[in-house]
Amino acid sequence: MSMKEKRFLIIGGEGLIGTALNESIRLQGGVVATTSRRQRDAIKNIIFLDLQNERSVAELDVSGYNIAYFCVGLSKYTDIETNVSISQQINVTGTLHLCARLMESGCSIVFLSTSAVFDGERLYPGENDPVCPVTRYGRQKCEVESALTMRGKAANVSATVKIVRLSKVLSPNMALINDWRNSLFRKEIITPLMDLRLSPVSLPYVVDGLLRIGMLEQSGIFHLSGARDTTYADIARELALRWGYPLSLVCPVTAMDSDLDLPYAPKHPSLGMNQTTKATAIAPQLFEDCIADLTDKAI
């Protein structure tokens, strides 16, 4: 069955990834509905959903969808720690309730997870390596991963479950990158962190990967990651060069210099992708390709 023959549901259609997925599916001829906790619009196929509200989850019409992408949840570490019960309801309880209802209707699930299910101490952890989260966010993702994996193996379930762990997704429209660009335009110094490591992937890379994984007939755990680790300071320097600004305006600092408390600072944020590459032919994204996507004015 081609994309044009499927009906998609995006849980969290207003976020960075959900919005881009929605646009890409529509451009390729797919029929897609999205959910929002702020609005509903029958013409635009926007459906109201609040994962914090049990009634909202129970009353959502889940019939007729082939693939559902879960792009919603609380992800800021500080918000999760200060709102433990709310984050648990949204990120775990409400998510699992809705997943169960969709799978019972025959809809396959693509659940977006995170590299934070690992502690960041190991080089390139693989799809089937043991998880070891060190944050509440990572533990919540692990809880959902485990429950979905078990449900996907149930004999009476025909729907597939794809768990897709992402490294750090970057977009030219993100506040941080916009702030850098605007400051450099005004000839102001920017102070990116030199001691916070990440494995950057661009939004187009992630959207393409999610669509290809979603169309697979098999369940499993998949990784979408950058090919190597880097720092925010390295990214800022590369972007400044691409934008035509002097490197003298890029003055890296440490988290301590900025009086920042980093709840998750992995030494090795990149994920291994051997199994994903075998199943999908998707390779880890090269650093230079990610930077090119971030500086492409057509994005």
Bridge partners of residue 30, in order along the sequence:
none
CA torsion, points 299, 181, 112, 201, in degrees to nearest 10?
80
Using one digit for the tens of pLDDT, what is the confidence trace for 24-58? 999 999 999 999 988 666 556 789 999 999 999 99
Residue 299 has pLDDT above 50, yes or no: no
Strands, DSSP E only, in the chain?
7-11, 31-36, 46-48, 67-70, 108-114, 161-166, 169-170, 197-198, 201-202, 220-224, 230-231
User: How is the chain split into domains, by residue range?
Assistant: 3-169+200-226+267-285
Confidence of residue 298 (pLDDT cuts 50, 70, 90): very low
Of 210, 6, 225, 223, nearest to 110 by C-alpha is 210
CB distance 25 to 3 below 8 Å: yes
Using one digit for the tens of pLDDT, what is the confidence trace for 142-162? 999 999 999 888 756 678 999
CB distance 73 to 91 below 8 Å: yes
CB distance 51 to 89 below 8 Å: yes
Of 32, 61, 33, nearest to 46 by C-alpha is 33
DSSP class of 52: T
d(C-alpha 144, C-alpha 141), whole Å: 5
Q: Does residue 140 sit in helix, strand or coil? A: helix
CA distances from 288 to 171, 200, 272, 292 (A): 14, 10, 19, 6
Model pTM above 0.85: yes
Of 10, 165, 78, nearest to 87 by C-alpha is 78
Is residue 21 packed enough to be buried (19+ CB in 10 Å), middle (13-18) or exposed (0-12)? buried
d(C-alpha 165, C-alpha 143), whole Å: 14
Of 204, 232, 211, nearest to 295 by C-alpha is 204
At a CB cut-off of 8 Å and minimum separation 6, what does 132 contact? Answer: 117, 118, 119
CB distance 287 to 230 below 8 Å: yes
Of 115, 112, 148, nearest to 134 by C-alpha is 115
Using one digit for the tens of pLDDT, what is the confidence trace for 204-222? 999 999 999 999 999 999 9
Using one digit for the tens of pLDDT, what is the confidence trace for 92-128? 999 999 999 999 999 999 999 999 999 999 999 999 9
From the CA atom positions of the chain, what is the Rg in Å?
19
Multiple choice CATH, 3-169+200-226+267-285, 3.90.1300.10, 3.20.20.70, 3.40.50.720, 3.20.20.140: 3.40.50.720
Least confident of 45-54, 224-233, 255-264: 255-264
